[in-house]
Amino acid sequence: MLIVMHKDATPLQVARVCETIKAMGFSPHTIPGAQRVAIGITGNKGAVDTGRLEGLAGVLNVIPVTQPYKLASRETKPEDTVVDVKGVKIGGGSIAIIAGPCAVETARRTMTIARAVQRSGATIMRGGAFKPRTSPYAFQGLGETGLKILKKVRRATGLPVVSEALDTDNFNLVESYVDIVQIGARNMQNYSLLKKAGKSSKPVMLKRGISSTIHEFLLAAEYIVSEGNYQVILCERGIRTFSDHTRYTLDISSIPELKRITHLPVIVDPSHAAGKRDIVIPLAKAAIAAGADGVMVEVHDRPEEALSDGPQSLTLGMFREMVRELKAIIRAQPRRRRRPGS
């Protein structure tokens, strides 16, 4: 259910509507818009007595929301959500370019990569401090030491940083160091972690699960938004299919569909979908052409020495090439002629 307020509704009238919703046993979610305020209602198991709400001062209309992901739906918020990460905007026409190594390895190497990708046009730095690996014998990351390295990188370059929280136990630690908390594909339906992220003051990047539908993806986002954190960035990173020529199948069709049904920004991780660096750039170009709000790619100065995901990591030269080609695609799109990160 969505309550649309009059353009001239006062803060007191909005507060009165929220109090009424709480008195009815539901949860109100205030959604500021360009022209007017809307209030989403969650917690109802069935029909809501709209008559009690329609008569309140300042209420223009009460609209049923048909999608189960009520707060993430464009029915609730038609305007794009723009997530501002220390001045770098994701969504609303801005294109974010997120780059860095799969895993933080050493302070010197991470700084070298950060400075190089920044010169080439990266707007946000990525790097895994905690690494969820399929094999227990693979490199698991540096933990808090890696987070401290990312903090030094941010201080030296000014680039916001994103890194993954593996569980509720280390969420607070990761949150204290980074500017965006990533929830990985393996954790897309870790509901305790999603609720924890929903209480965070930091933006959250939610990756699509390897076998999840778009419906399930948005319901996972709804867990975060329903707890009060509206700064959610959706990340398409490929799904498991019968195809075996790439690591996963990048679902390009999900991009325009997500942009149609949700107001949340959508970025794409072509590195994890590809599994091989030679096709990362074409996939990144396809993602931007399809309407994505940004890309996140793995970059390494010496991929052959990488402790994690070397085969899919772009070289520094390949990253420069990718940014140049993405800018050409952006310029060719009439409605998206804004520079990356603007």
Segment 190-200, tens digit of pLDDT: 999 999 999 99
pLDDT single digits (tens) 219-255: 999 999 999 999 999 999 999 999 889 999 999 999 9
- Confidence check: pLDDT of 341 > 90: no
Residue range 179-187: mean pLDDT, rounded: 97
Confidence of residue 297 (pLDDT cuts 50, 70, 90): very high
CB 67 within 8 A of CB 40: no
Q: Is residue 74 part of a domain?
A: no
Q: Is residue 233 part of a domain?
A: yes
Domain boundary pick from 12, 30, 63: 63
Those residues whose C-beta lies under 8 Å from the C-beta of residue 334, and which sit 6 or more positions away, are: none
pLDDT at 264: 97
- Measured at the CA of 191, the angle between CA 293 and CA 264, to 5 degrees, comes to 20
Q: Is residue 78 part of a domain?
A: no
pLDDT at 220: 98
Residues 249, 292, single domain; the answer is yes
Residue 129's domain comprises 83-336
Q: Above pLDDT 90, what percent of the chain? A: 77
- Confidence check: pLDDT of 119 > 60: yes
Residues 225, 103, single domain; the answer is yes
Confidence of residue 145 (pLDDT cuts 50, 70, 90): very high
Residues 160, 111, single domain; the answer is yes
Look at strands 232-236 and 266-268 and give their pairing: parallel
Comparison of pLDDT for 332 and 120, the residue scoring more: 120
Q: Of 321, 333, 322, 245, which Cα lies nearest the Cα of 292?
A: 333
User: φ and ψ at 131, to 5 degrees?
Assistant: -115, 115
CA pair distance 9, 4, nearest whole angstrom:
10
Crossing angle of helices 168-177 and 191-198, in 10° steps, is 30
CB 291 within 8 A of CB 255: yes
Q: How far is CA 189 from the centre of its chain?
A: 15
- Confidence check: pLDDT of 50 > 90: no
CB 286 within 8 A of CB 324: no
CA pair distance 198, 194, nearest whole angstrom:
6
CA pair distance 73, 260, nearest whole angstrom:
9
Query: Within the chain, what is the greatest distance between any pair of CA atoms?
Result: 67
Residues 274, 229, single domain; the answer is yes
CB 274 within 8 A of CB 312: yes
Stated pTM of the model? 0.89
Q: Where are the beta strands (DSSP E) in the chain?
A: 2-5, 27-32, 37-42, 59-63, 83-85, 88-90, 96-100, 124-126, 161-164, 180-183, 204-207, 232-236, 266-268, 294-298
pLDDT at 333: 79
pLDDT single digits (tens) 246-278: 999 999 999 999 999 999 999 999 999 999 999
Comparison of pLDDT for 43 and 308, the residue scoring more: 308
pLDDT at 151: 97
pLDDT at 299: 98
- Confidence check: pLDDT of 337 > 60: no
Q: Is residue 258 part of a domain?
A: yes
Q: Is residue 252 part of a domain?
A: yes
Q: Above pLDDT 70, what percent of the chain? A: 96
Residues 41, 109, single domain; the answer is no
Q: Is residue 69 part of a domain?
A: no
- Confidence check: pLDDT of 144 > 80: yes
pLDDT at 177: 98
The whole-chain average pLDDT of the chain stands at 93
User: To which residue do tokens 């800018």 refer?
Assistant: 327
Residues 94, 165, single domain; the answer is yes
Our count of domains for the chain comes to 2
Q: Of 228, 263, 222, 226, which Cα lies nearest the Cα of 34?
A: 263
What single string gives the DSSP state of each residue in 14-37?
Answer: HHHHHHHHHHTT-EEEEEE-SS-E
pLDDT at 338: 52
- Confidence check: pLDDT of 47 > 80: no
Q: Is residue 70 part of a domain?
A: no
- Measured at the CA of 159, the angle between CA 158 and CA 163, to 5 degrees, comes to 135
Q: Is residue 68 part of a domain?
A: no
CA pair distance 75, 67, nearest whole angstrom:
8
- Confidence check: pLDDT of 44 > 80: no
CA pair distance 96, 91, nearest whole angstrom:
8
Residue range 198-218: mean pLDDT, rounded: 97
Taking 3-state DSSP, the helix, strand and coil percentages for the chain, each rounded to the nearest 5, stand at: 40, 20, 40
Residues 272, 302, single domain; the answer is yes
